[in-house]
Amino acid sequence: MSLINEHLDFSTIADLFLLHGSLQSPAFLDGRLAAGLGLHDISAEAWLTEVCEALGVEQPKDPASAEGFLGWRRQALDALSAAELNYEPLLPDELFSLTEQARGLQEWSQGFLEVVNEVGVDTRNAWSANLREALDDLEAVAVMEVELDDDSENENDLFALAEHARMVAMLLYTEQHPGQPQVDQVESPSGSANEEH
């Protein structure tokens, strides 16, 4: 079965990790991927190396696994650079408990910040106040309490935090890649899209 045209979700990548003998969540690495693409345009080869190191293997088990890991990178890059602003972090979905979802978001944030915190002061100072503030808020997500009761209030809070993580990733990418994505706005050249997601 080819993964090339299939949307890769959290469970699909988690299954690939299991295939390589790893029980770790893909969320942490997905955070690193989003930040890496935003800052350095992490190459396919570098990404494959990073995934294999994280999984403790020398190379993917088979061509389909390699295709899956590379598809994961391609999917994130396509979404980050798309005009639709439809990037979504790879997080546990509603099939998982709120605690598992919160832990996934926490791990994603930790992975994202780990890469961002390697950036030099000059680069960081050139970022907008919005991005710097959003990253500060993400620091709080990285250390938040993850043992949550399954109730609608916690569910709404978690959704808002996941949306914040999504926006931080896109903000970093767009600031580091001026002119990308090419947001289609004929009448408003300022690029201030007020579309609801």
φ and ψ of 115, to 5 deg: -75, -45
5-57 residue pLDDT tens: 578 999 999 999 999 999 999 999 999 999 999 998 899 999 999 999 999 99
Largest CA distance in the chain: 52
51-105 residue pLDDT tens: 999 999 999 999 999 999 999 999 999 999 998 889 999 999 999 999 999 999 9
Separation of alpha carbons 14 and 75, rounded Å: 16
Q: Which residue has the tokens 């503030």?
A: 133
Q: Which residue has the tokens 């295939």?
A: 19
Instruction: Give the CATH number of domain 10-176; options: 1.20.120.740, 2.40.10.10, 3.30.1960.10, 1.10.10.10.
Output: 1.20.120.740
Separation of alpha carbons 54 and 31, rounded Å: 13
Separation of alpha carbons 35 and 17, rounded Å: 21
Separation of alpha carbons 196 and 43, rounded Å: 32
Query: What pLDDT, on a 0 to 100 scale, did the predictor assign at position 108?
Result: 98
DSSP state of 24: S
Alpha carbon 32 to chain centroid, angstroms? 7
